[in-house]
Amino acid sequence: MCGIFACYNYQGDVDTFRQRALYLSKKIRHRGPDWSGCVIANKTILCHERLAIVGIDTGAQPLVSDDENLVLCVNGEIYNHKALRANLKEKYEFKTHSDCEVIIPMYSELDTGLANKLDGMFSFVLYDKKRNRVIAARDPIGITTLYYGWDSKMPGTVYFSSELKSLNEECDKILAFPPGHVYDSETGETVRYFNPSWWDEERVPTNPADLKLLRESLETAVRKRLMAEVPYGVLLSGGLDSSLIAAIAARETEKIAQTGVPEDGFDERGPTLWPRLHSFSIGLPGAPDLIAAREVAKHLKTIHHEYTFTVQEALDAVSDVIYHLETYDVTTIRASTPMYLLSRKIKATGVKMVLSGEGADEVFGGYLYFHYAPDNTSFHHETVTRVKNLHTSDCLRANKSTMAWGLEARVPFLDKQFLEVAMNIDPQFKRPNKKEGRMEKYIVRKAFDTSDDPSAKPYLPDSVLWRQKEQFSDGVGYNWIDSLKQVAETKVTDEEFATAASRWTKDVPTTKEAFMYRVMFEDWYPQEACTASVVRWIPKAEWGCPEDPSGRAQGVHEAALSD
């Protein structure tokens, strides 16, 4: 992944603005420390901060077409780029080995229709000089981050950036670019291109749970995400989701090491691999996740890296985490802080890409509060809603916590084809039922359970395959969240907290912890426009969920909070 900054139709001297644009782009250089690029065309300027994962020798951006008419900046990975190249109608001389360059000839052939052909995680801005036109698009679920903004003093000018921090000094209106959409300056409209069969919340699917198809679809999703020319690894919390991704990746790595990567065909896996898979985990000393991750790593024979942190180290990082996250959402900040610390440790090893398990809980109703769903229809509606809003929470966390250190996270559970399978399963097969012994994500666990076949190699130890859901912010050590609450009680006085409703009209903090984060956010982003893109996750009170979003706050948790 990378960082992109662009300004379309600048109302002034664009050459003079170049230095300002470079400064704004530099604010997101943590996303792309490998190289920087800048191109001016007419009154439009595009800047790029590169993290080299594929085509590392030739893929510097912005990319420019042979006739110099098209200029392209991309953040992300296009997993099917080889197949797309092969299916072009017109011959095109590629300048690079980059997976992103294929967007240029596709634009010439398909116009904005190209976005729906891309399989990957991406945000891009493409400028057509002849038509003085810019188009921009974001991947279907919003795994990559993208914002656009406007300055009321410059009507007709549009800014784009991978992160809010490049826009807040320039724009008085800033919005998160919606996932699965494409913007066209010729119409001024942002239109949805991603319309999967499961998108309509009112349509409740009736497909039975095909466990073989589910398993094979996830394996395919992991396989395509091994496309890399740099060392990679897996984030391993020891929970079901990350452990399954690690198990599949370990099998694929072993397979490639034995057979090699075919020179022809459309196998998207990269040729440069470490001999064995590396796994990474973090927690407070003795944390549940560390213990479980150790067991998984031993089972999978990964080269395992285990890191511990102190509560004080994490508390010291919270302000910086909020700077990178660009949100004041309690759940996101709690979970992002350990991930932010881990990402820095991983980058120090030389790894530039990791696989992660985000998305499974939204797709399969894995959070413990899903136990309270009153019926199958409500359960399904909530899964669709949570997947649609992943760009405001878990995707945002995974992207910005890792990219703060120039580390790319890929998320197989949010693969387009996998979602077509998983989101079309009848909710009765997904829904947990404690009385019947059917725990959360039962069908996922069952799909990878080989206990009925003595000759099969187990994907995971039973103790992990059937481990209860543990939210990452809890699993790193229960004292982490408890300490955040205690610090907030000390930092925020009762008198200060009483002013919350008069101080803010949007997202009024209801706890001292939330108040503390809101103040930190405004220290970094004081402009009023900066809150428009922030979305808080609020537990479903109508299902009887407590206000605290921690998994331990749910009564079904084995270590449920007593207060």
What is d(CA 513, CA 489) in angstroms, rounded to the nearest whole number? 7
Residue 357 annotated in ligand binding = yes
The 3-state secondary structure of 34-85 reads CEEEEEEECCEEEEEEECCCCCCCCCCCCEECCCCCEEEEEEEEECCHHHHH
Query: Which is the catalytic residue, given 2, 7, 47, 545?
Result: 2
Residue 282 annotated in ligand binding = yes
Centre a 10 Å sphere on the Cβ of residue 24 and count the other Cβ atoms it contains: 22
- Evaluated on CA atoms 339, 364, 481, 285, the torsion sign reads negative
Q: Identify any residues that bridge with 137 across adjacent strands, giving them in sequence order.
A: 124, 182
The DSSP line for 351-401 is --EEE--TTHHHHHT-SGGGGG-SSHHHHHHHHHHHHHTGGGTHHHHHHHH
| Sheet with strand 35-41: strands edge to edge | 35-41, 44-50, 3-8, 158-161, 147-150, 173-176
62: cis peptide before it, omega within 30°? yes
Residue 143 annotated in ligand binding = no
Q: Indicate the DSSP class of residue 425.
A: B
Q: Is 2 a catalytic residue?
A: yes
Residue 356 annotated in ligand binding = yes
Tokens of 485: 């609450």
Residue 265 annotated in ligand binding = no
- Evaluated on CA atoms 116, 118, 120, 124, the torsion sign reads negative
Tokens of 428: 């009765």
Centre a 10 Å sphere on the Cβ of residue 187 and count the other Cβ atoms it contains: 10
Residue numbers annotated as active site = 2
Binding residue positions for L-glutamine: 99
Binding residue positions: 99, 235, 282, 356-357
Binding residue positions for ATP: 235, 282, 356-357
